[in-house]
Amino acid sequence: MNHKEIKLFYASNSFFNFANSIVGIFIPIYLFEKGYSLSAIILFFVLVQLSRLIFLPISAWLSSVIGAKKMIGFSFIASIIFYLTLDKIDSLSNGFYLSALIYGAVIAFYILPFLVHLSKMSPNNNRGKILGKLNIYSAVAGASGPILGGIIISSYGFSAGFVAVILFIIPAILLLLLTPEISKIRKINFGLINIKKIYPDLIANGFLNFQIYLGYMVWSIFIFLIVLEYDKVGLIQTISLFVSIIVFYILGILVDKFNRKKVLMWGSLISVFTDLIRVFASSFASVLLLNTSSVAFEKAKRMAWDVKIQEHMDKEPRTEYVCFFEMGGAFVSLVLLALFMLIIQSLSLQDALFCGIIISSLSGVFINLIRK
């Protein structure tokens, strides 16, 4: 891909990330406000992981048959369907389950082809720089969304927020159509991957997914119960994400110059600490400070993680590897989320939220299982 095509790909994903960020942090809060318990919200995301697990082989097969870029476009369209069903979760028959299953399909149809497409457009020797730029563009777009979403939801309700998301997904689709398909169409062959060789990656990805989803659910509800206003929740997330842009820039250079495994290890250890101290948040100011430090160091960790994973994709069939990698992540996170759901059955909401923040924070250490 030439520089113009890469920029178009950046722009397309930036629009998509911006669109999702408008209501992203508010989805657990939306379900909570609808009257669903914390256990039910966790069940929602257990179903998301189950759906993701089911649709990943289909995503891998279709990516090989029609191309990864086309699958990314399909995931954009599926996202629109997801937000429409989420908006009507109470009025649709089995809307709770339908929304969760569609959400899982969206993730499967997006992440796998995105990673495959990205690995083909970014050579390993300067992959950190390319990922850094992509993350900066996405961060700028994603950081602008939460405050806008908070204002829209506060003023006009969640339905208006979902409409705004859909309106911004449309240009993401149009921009993606202007980029070329660079995937080689070939027959998928899962026999090319040796599970015994890559299983540490799959387990590590499972713990990362568990950390992300559990932390996302409990922290969103935790801070909402403190500040009690959607626009304030959005403002907190917007400020935090803008701070992370500086981290993207620095880490995009560091991961190309230093040992990526060590950057990942130190990033994960610092991230555990910054995630754990969030339990002490009790006011708008403390939530803002602790959320900002947590997001910044989480992004630092993820930068090294993303580059390390992409490094492995130069050594074996990309599509098959990503499929197993994502299936491992979905399966492990599904099991761990289900176990956490059982653990909190007898806990109060406040205790369950504290427990979730602590467990999700500590699970981040296990991402260092990734193979060398």
Give alpha helix (H) positions in the chain: 3-23, 27-33, 38-66, 68-87, 95-121, 127-156, 158-177, 195-227, 230-257, 260-276, 284-312, 318-343, 349-363
Which CATH number belongs to the domain containing residue 329 in this structure? 1.20.1250.20
Report the alpha-carbon distance of residue 359 to residue 340 in Å, rounded.
Answer: 9
Number of folded domains that form the chain: 1
Does a structural domain hold residue 37? yes
Res 130: pLDDT: 57
If pLDDT is split at 50, 70 and 90, which confidence band does 29 have?
very high
Determine, yes or no, domain membership for 189.
Answer: no
pLDDT (0 to 100) of residue 303: 67
Phi/psi region, residue 157 (left: phi>0; alpha: psi -120 to 50; beta: rest), is left
pLDDT value, residue 307:
66
In a domain, 186, yes or no: no
Residue 240 is predicted with a pLDDT of 85
Under 8 Å between Cβ of 254 and 333: no
Give the position of tokens 């400020």: 239
Residue 291 lies in a domain: yes
pLDDT tens digits for range 117-161? 776 665 555 555 555 566 666 667 777 899 999 999 999 999 999
3 state SS for 25-71? HHHHHHHHHCCCCHHHHHHHHHHHHHHHHHHHHHHHHHHHHHCHHHH
| Domain-embedded: residue 127 | yes
Q: Percentage of the chain surpassing pLDDT 90?
A: 50
Residue 96 is assigned to a structural domain of this protein: yes
Q: Would you say the C-alpha torsion 8, 10, 13, 15 has a positive or negative sign? A: negative
Instruction: Tell me if 288 is assigned to some domain.
Output: yes
* Residue numbers of the domain that contains 292: 3-181+195-369
Give yes or no for a contact between 364 and 207, defined as CB atoms under 8 angstroms apart. Answer: yes
Q: Supply the pLDDT for residue 48.
A: 97
Write the DSSP string, 170-221.
HHHHHHHHTSPP-PPP----GGGS-HHHHHHHHHHHHHHHHHHHHHHHHHHH
What per-residue confidence (pLDDT) applies to 372?
62
Residue 115 tokens read as: 């990673």
- pLDDT for the residue 161: 96
Question: 59 — alpha (psi -120 to 50), left (phi > 0) or beta?
Answer: alpha
- Report whether pLDDT(227) > 60: yes
In the chain, % of residues over pLDDT 70: 82
Each residue's pLDDT tens digit, 277-311: 999 999 999 999 998 888 877 766 776 676 666 66
Length of the chain: 372
The answer to whether residue 271 sits within a structural domain is yes
Among all chains, which residue has been given the structure tokens 């900002």?
A: 292
Identify which has the larger pLDDT, 184 or 88.
88
